[in-house]
A and B are shown apart, each in its own frame.
Chain A
């Protein structure tokens, strides 16, 4: 039975493990065969294939694509990065705006400790070097949703540098095998989010909501080690999981808590890198993959037809499935970076450098944070494979679905059945049922105890495996009431 992993039409459900055909996505620099191999059979998360099978092009040129990502994650904190106003989604417009957020003259930034901790945690989880001294800068540009006329960011010396993000791509040939891939993390910096502009074309006006202005962001910059949409999507998904596990960001793309910009270029292997374009504000994993692959192909087409690539910014047009040039951002911006004079350098300590007798509320100890990091997804997956003998592919699925791991572990606790059985039931039947009913794990009427009971019945051979499997998804609803052997003494009928 096909794993639900490949089920389409999921309500934006994201799967870290994307099955690919052999020959796709070999990492940068050396695609085998024609571009068609690379693009065809793309990630299962796409609604439909991006392109039909490509015929080999004239000239038989090999192309390599280079993708770099800039990911903005909203920090999960009570208040904003430099002011005390609250961070909340969907509040009435301009109801969460302090004097500082509104850029009233004379107001000054005050750094939020929780945001710094979030940055350190994320940096450690991504194997970064944490800079014990980092600096804040002003990045100037005029825009209605940027009240001060500048954004406070970390351009010269960010809080974390030189890390790595490991994600897993499934090798199609051997089911369940996962090939780990790594993308280097260039840096992580703290910066302010901007407000929101709503363009009201009817009245020729723009409405500004500053609720989001000043919310803390972690900008994670990935080196251009990725080579296609699927790799990018997978890497972003893994980052999402890490952020959610750490609690540093809810990283919900639909709510704008995670935004990705992609820098894309193509070149012939062995030749210098091509001109790159920037594709901005991709707000779902699905569109991210789609947009990147579209843009790669667009560039290849353009170059093969003798055209040239402009160093420009493009946005992804969801309905048309293509990227379009954002004309008004064509002119090169000089951001006139300047040190933020109202914020002294940010100094962090570790066990060796912590001055004796300091108030722990006044300082941040990197080592202490490292010790209190929760178990990261990669470690959890490894543990699941070791502990329960499941396939790596399964461990990915368990972690990908919000709440599924906990459900699984609760079932394990209460049942006598073998872990492999539990794994199979949870991932196939239970998850399948959820997908069909469009439910999240938290909304499931079936409790872990109920499923555990069913599995016990199975285990004691009270019901046959065939019978149990024949219980079609709808009937699982009966599991909300206590089971008794009598209920299974007759062959269950499917109800529709």
Chain B
């Protein structure tokens, strides 16, 4: 049951094959079993069970709220949840219990979804590994999959034990792990430079980034206001569409949302054929750092479209090489601004120093933020200085315009959808990942994903195939602004063609105790 799609479970609930409470308890039990993954920061067991109880009543009366009624979901811990601790994986917000729900959370709750908990992330969503939060790193469930382990046994150099578990990617790694390990059917992530698509690719999931302005950001604790969007992680495209249908729409509380651009509820038609489709392959995305496996898959995917009658052409996005630097300037500038509110005065962590306001601010912020956050704040403030503003911030905004125009030109030349890799490689072991610092990693790993955020376009990562090591590889589709439905329709067709395998975690389920033993040695969890 836990491995089913959202649609299937929803049907099962309606038919009474299973009750919301049973479903809830199954998920809670699995969450406990997979605790070593460190996917959840907070498990809202009481809340979820209460919601399940109410959902059950509705089903008994034959009046479920919709397709999401009684469905367990998880929410990344940078979304504000009323009455439930929201930490952003930072010391700064440890113990912070918001008094309101983010709009997207409220919409899910209004549909009767069950909130299983808040998932782990990089601190304040800064990172591409979900390794830099105060509650420790998140482990990729694929580390324990049959597919991966079997391949590893064949490798004489592989170590036994669990010390070389793999990262989930980030920053929405907790949400990805939660869905991938079947503890919930959908999870909210956020996507600023690829934070939903990246872990989706590494965890074999569908990771959807909506168009900027389609889904409300009210209640999403911001990283970069002009690029952030709530992201959706599910196990199939139809599920993502269902969730998008609930979330999309104008929110008066968010002045950057547009008025009703899509039809709801969102039901994806099945593409009969792709002969009318034009797929664009951006040539600048073929970089030397791209793993040969992914390059090969990318090529085969293009061939697939072509063989099925679609037009596949090469396009150019000439300003791609400037994108990462431009992103860095704009991101750090906004971060410096957004983090200015964290001073310990109204909420969150406050240091013990009370000599003066300035001293208190300084100590609070030093104690509350990790090095990654502080580094970005420093950089951002530098770029915003009067003497630097024109040369850095304004220049970056101009380059951003050029990057966005690159996409517009590509789409105007007849391309419907762009096809690119999502990541440079499959998930790497944690010990290898931490050899480079956060900044370097982010710059590398975001290469295919962050231009999309700069342009505000919709994009989705679809799991395609397993690598030689038995790990998931995803490819990315990018669509025109507000053509989210069309984008998902193409993605759905592609998903059907590739038939990505289901993760095999039975061993994990049986072998939990053994893994837990190893965990005591290797775990770096700091959760109290």
Show the binding face of A for B, using Cβ within 8 Å: 99, 102-111, 138, 140, 142-144, 147-150, 204-206, 208, 334, 336-338, 341-344
**Is B337 part of the contact surface with A, judged by Cβ < 8 Å?**
yes
Residue of A nearest to B259 (CB): A362
Can you show 9 pairs from A to B with CB atoms below 8 A apart? A103-B346, A106-B219, A149-B341, A150-B337, A150-B340, A205-B354, A338-B384, A342-B225, A344-B255
Task: Tell me the complex Cα distance, A338–B337, Å.
Answer: 8
Which of B220, B334, B393 is A106 in contact with, Cβ under 8 Å?
B220
Residues of B with C-beta under 8 A to A343: 255
Show the binding face of B for A, using Cβ within 8 Å: 79-80, 88, 93, 98-100, 102, 217-222, 224-226, 252-256, 333-334, 336-337, 339-343, 345-347, 354, 357-358, 361, 381, 384-386, 389, 393
Query: Which of B340, B342, B389 has the most chain A CB atoms inside 10 A of its CB?
Result: B340
Residue of A nearest to B222 (CB): A106
Task: Tell me the complex Cα distance, A347–B221, Å.
Answer: 27
Task: Tell me the complex Cα distance, A205–B357, Å.
Answer: 9
Residues of B with C-beta under 8 A to A138: 337
Residue of B nearest to A107 (CB): B218
A102 touches B346 (CB 8 A): yes
Residues of B with C-beta under 8 A to A143: 357
A142 touches B361 (CB 8 A): yes
Residue of A nearest to B345 (CB): A144
B98 touches A104 (CB 8 A): yes
Which of A108, A142, A144, A337 is B340 in contact with, Cβ under 8 Å?
A142
Known: A103-B346, A106-B220, A142-B358. A338 touches B333 (CB 8 A): yes
Residues of A with C-beta under 8 A to B333: 338
B93 touches A142 (CB 8 A): no
- Rank and list the top 7 A-B pairs by shortest CB-CB distance, nearest first: A149-B340, A336-B384, A341-B225, A341-B226, A105-B221, A103-B341, A106-B80
- Nearest-CB distance from A97 to chain B (Å)? 9
Known: A149-B341, A342-B225. A104 touches B346 (CB 8 A): yes
Residues of B with C-beta under 8 A to A204: 354
B341 touches A140 (CB 8 A): no
Given contacts A149-B340, A343-B255, 16 further A-B contacts (CB under 8 A): A99-B99, A103-B341, A105-B80, A105-B221, A106-B220, A106-B221, A148-B341, A149-B337, A204-B354, A336-B337, A336-B381, A337-B384, A338-B393, A341-B334, A342-B255, A344-B255
Residues of A with C-beta under 8 A to B354: 204-205
Known: A147-B345, A337-B384. A104 touches B336 (CB 8 A): no
A111 touches B255 (CB 8 A): yes
- Nearest-CB distance from A349 to chain B (Å)? 17
A147 touches B255 (CB 8 A): no
Residues of A with C-beta under 8 A to B343: 142, 149
B225 touches A144 (CB 8 A): no
B220 touches A109 (CB 8 A): no
A147 touches B341 (CB 8 A): yes
A334 touches B386 (CB 8 A): yes
- Nearest-CB distance from B356 to chain A (Å)? 9
- Nearest-CB distance from B256 to chain A (Å)? 6
Residue of A nearest to B219 (CB): A106
Interface of A is mostly: loop
B340 touches A206 (CB 8 A): no
Residues of A with C-beta under 8 A to B219: 106-107
Residue of B nearest to A99 (CB): B100
Query: Which of A99, A108, A143, A338 has the most chain B CB atoms inside 10 A of its CB?
Result: A108
A140 touches B337 (CB 8 A): yes
- Nearest-CB distance from B387 to chain A (Å)? 8
Task: Tell me the complex Cα distance, A149–B384, Å.
Answer: 14
B337 touches A104 (CB 8 A): no
Residues of A with C-beta under 8 A to B386: 334, 336-337
Which of B254, B358, B384 is A108 in contact with, Cβ under 8 Å?
B254
Task: Tell me the complex Cα distance, A108–B80, Å.
Answer: 13
Residues of A with C-beta under 8 A to B252: 110
Residues of A with C-beta under 8 A to B339: 149
A110 touches B337 (CB 8 A): no
Residues of A with C-beta under 8 A to B256: 108, 341-342, 344
Task: Tell me the complex Cα distance, A142–B354, Å.
Answer: 16
Task: Tell me the complex Cα distance, A111–B256, Å.
Answer: 12
Task: Tell me the complex Cα distance, A143–B358, Å.
Answer: 8
Residues of A with C-beta under 8 A to B255: 108-111, 342-344
Residues of A with C-beta under 8 A to B381: 336
Which of A104, A105, A110, A150 is B253 in contact with, Cβ under 8 Å?
A110
Task: Tell me the complex Cα distance, A270–B484, Å.
Answer: 66
Task: Tell me the complex Cα distance, A255–B471, Å.
Answer: 68
Residues of B with C-beta under 8 A to A140: 337, 340, 384
Task: Tell me the complex Cα distance, A148–B357, Å.
Answer: 15
A106 touches B102 (CB 8 A): yes
Residues of A with C-beta under 8 A to B220: 106
Query: Which of A142, A144, A149 has the most chain B CB atoms inside 10 A of its CB?
Result: A149
Residues of A with C-beta under 8 A to B334: 338, 341
Residues of A with C-beta under 8 A to B340: 140, 142, 148-150
Residues of B with C-beta under 8 A to A108: 217-218, 253-256
- Nearest-CB distance from A311 to chain B (Å)? 16
Residues of B with C-beta under 8 A to A142: 340, 343, 358, 361
A144 touches B385 (CB 8 A): no
Task: Tell me the complex Cα distance, A239–B158, Å.
Answer: 80
B385 touches A206 (CB 8 A): no
Task: Tell me the complex Cα distance, A338–B385, Å.
Answer: 10
- Nearest-CB distance from A196 to chain B (Å)? 14
Residues of B with C-beta under 8 A to A144: 345, 357
Task: Tell me the complex Cα distance, A206–B218, Å.
Answer: 31
Task: Tell me the complex Cα distance, A102–B345, Å.
Answer: 10
Task: Tell me the complex Cα distance, A458–B93, Å.
Answer: 78
- Nearest-CB distance from B409 to chain A (Å)? 24
Which of A106, A148, A208, A336 is B385 in contact with, Cβ under 8 Å?
A336
Task: Tell me the complex Cα distance, A150–B361, Å.
Answer: 14
Task: Tell me the complex Cα distance, A261–B361, Å.
Answer: 28
Residues of A with C-beta under 8 A to B346: 102-104, 147
Residue of A nearest to B333 (CB): A338
Residue of B nearest to A148 (CB): B341
Task: Tell me the complex Cα distance, A334–B224, Å.
Answer: 22
- Nearest-CB distance from B349 to chain A (Å)? 13
Residues of B with C-beta under 8 A to A102: 346-347
Which of B93, B336, B393 is A105 in contact with, Cβ under 8 Å?
B93
Residues of A with C-beta under 8 A to B80: 104-106
- Nearest-CB distance from B368 to chain A (Å)? 12
Residues of A with C-beta under 8 A to B361: 142
Task: Tell me the complex Cα distance, A110–B254, Å.
Answer: 7
